[in-house]
Amino acid sequence: MPIIVDKDNKRRKIAIACTELLLEKGLKDLRISEIAKTAGIGKGTVYDYFTNKEDVVFEIIRNIIQEHQDNLNERSNENTTTREKVYYLFDFYLCEFKEYKQHLEVYKEYIAATLSTDDKSMIEFNRECTTFIHQMLTKIIFDGISKGEIKAVAENLITGIMVSERGFMLMDWSENIINKKVFKVYLNTIFDLIEIKDEKNSITF
């Protein structure tokens, strides 16, 4: 009886095994032979699951985004406020957990490569990631509006919040400064303005 391989799961495992390698080498110097060695597979097997090294990095980023989405879902229930959910969504940037710091470093390496390339697959993947996170934030905000937690005008702030978070991160990386506290103040100020005050959703971080 032939062995059935879960190709999606195998892709995920190979990518996860190569996360540290990406941080060590950087995308530019990453080699398929090194990916194969790190994942404990043959070089040809890498091409059974990935088109190129960029495709491996895409899978690493997808895993990170999925992990953060799972974390958001696990920490959220009917009593979780909109403000809290937005913070959980941006834990990727704001949290001090060691594993999240690694995720942020991986994403930093990826963004640096994206900003300096005209590779269409990388640009399109970056757009895909941004769209996905934007959709998550949109759902959080609209759920908050429908529950009467926040004012309807919050709908107009979704793109601005997304752009601001990316901007704060890029400033951190390019200027070697830490803007996390400033971004937290920014988010808290927004929610101070849009929350409907007779609800129990005035928690700040």
Query: Is 167 inside a domain boundary?
Result: yes
- CATH of residue 137's domain is 1.10.357
Q: What is the pLDDT of residues 50-69, one digit of tens each?
A: 998 889 988 988 888 888 88
Name every residue whose Cβ is closer than 8 Å to that of residue 205 and which is 6 or more positions away in sequence: 87, 94, 184, 187, 188
Cβ–Cβ under 8 Å, residues 144 and 82: yes
Query: Is 25 inside a domain boundary?
Result: no
Q: What is the pLDDT of residues 171-195, one digit of tens each?
A: 887 766 667 888 999 999 999 999 9
Which tokens is 80 given? 């979780």
Query: Is 36 inside a domain boundary?
Result: no
Query: Is 22 inside a domain boundary?
Result: no
Task: Average the pLDDT over each of 70-79, 136-145, 186-195 and give the range with the smallest value.
Answer: 70-79
Query: Is 70 inside a domain boundary?
Result: yes
Higher pLDDT, 121 or 100: 121
**Domain range enclosing 189:** 52-194
pLDDT-based confidence at residue 199 (cuts at 50, 70, 90): very low
Query: Is 87 inside a domain boundary?
Result: yes
Is it the case that residue 26 has pLDDT exceeding 80? yes
Q: Scanning the structure block, which residue is given the tokens 């905000």?
A: 141
Q: Scanning the structure block, which residue is given the tokens 């409907």?
A: 196
pLDDT-based confidence at residue 198 (cuts at 50, 70, 90): low
Spell 17-35 as b/e; 16+ CB within 10 A means b: bbbebbeebebeebeeebb
Is it the case that residue 204 has pLDDT exceeding 70? no
Q: What is the pLDDT of residue 102?
A: 77
Separation of alpha carbons 114 and 123, rounded Å:
6
Mean pLDDT (the chain, rounded):
85
SS3 of residue 50 by DSSP: coil
Q: How far is CA 104 from CA 97, 114, 126, in A?
A: 11, 15, 15
Separation of alpha carbons 157 and 82, rounded Å:
13
At 121, phi and psi to the nearest 5? -65, -35
Q: What is the pLDDT of residues 87-96, one digit of tens each?
A: 999 887 887 6
| Closest by Cα among 137, 193, 141, 192 to 165 | 137
Separation of alpha carbons 12 and 65, rounded Å:
13
Please state, as a whole number, how many other Cβ atoms lie within 10 Å of the Cβ of residue 74: 9
Query: Is 131 inside a domain boundary?
Result: yes
- pTM for this one? 0.81
Separation of alpha carbons 40 and 25, rounded Å:
18
Query: Is 95 inside a domain boundary?
Result: yes
Percent of the chain at pLDDT above 70?
Answer: 89
Percent of the chain at pLDDT above 90?
Answer: 38
Is it the case that residue 100 has pLDDT exceeding 80? no
Higher pLDDT, 163 or 26: 163
What is the count of structural domains for the chain? Answer: 1
Q: What is the pLDDT of residue 84?
A: 93
Separation of alpha carbons 179 and 169, rounded Å:
8
